[in-house]
Amino acid sequence: MSEAGKKLDTDGSECPMGLECSIHYRNDERYLSDEYEAGRIITYWKQYMIVTDDNPAITGMTALRSMLDPTYVPPARYTTEVCEVGEGRALGDLYEESGDSDDLIREMIRFVQEHDDWNNFEDAHQMVVDLVKGNLLDLTTSYRNKSE
């Protein structure tokens, strides 16, 4: 395992959230900040974790590139993802198993929806939760395999 991988708190033993953590334990989470238009919602259902959060594709260079290149279309601000973590398991369980490999983490992502509207942040999450509960999404293969 790499040095960076060794520093990850994969089992929750060092997590300041303790037993309330939604990553290390199977807890639903809702954090919203209207002031910053930022938040995270996590819902566990059966073998899935549905998470709505800031888009990980946005980096510090996104704003700079937007200013320098008028043709650049930045990624959406938010994503809702469906991840297959396994019945009764949390996301942190997969980090423990993946070791130094991101492949297992990428394989667990089954659906991704991007969106920009903060006023629709909660509704976008709930819509995907309802689609998962209604078995209306194809979650049989990883999102990476669908997009290749």
121-130: pLDDT as tens digits: 999 999 999 9
What is the rounded distance in angstroms from the CA atom of residue 52 to the CA atom of residue 55?
Answer: 9
Give me the residue spans of the domains in the chain.
Answer: 3-147
Q: Are 99 and 5 in contact (CB under 8 A)?
A: yes
Non-local (6+) Cβ contacts of 134 within 8 A are none
Check residues 145 and 131 and name the one with the higher pLDDT: 131
pTM score, whole prediction: 0.82
Q: In angstroms, rounded to a whole number, what is the distance separating the alpha carbons of residues 67 and 41? A: 30
CA distance 43 to 24: 14
Tokens encoding 24: 């290390």
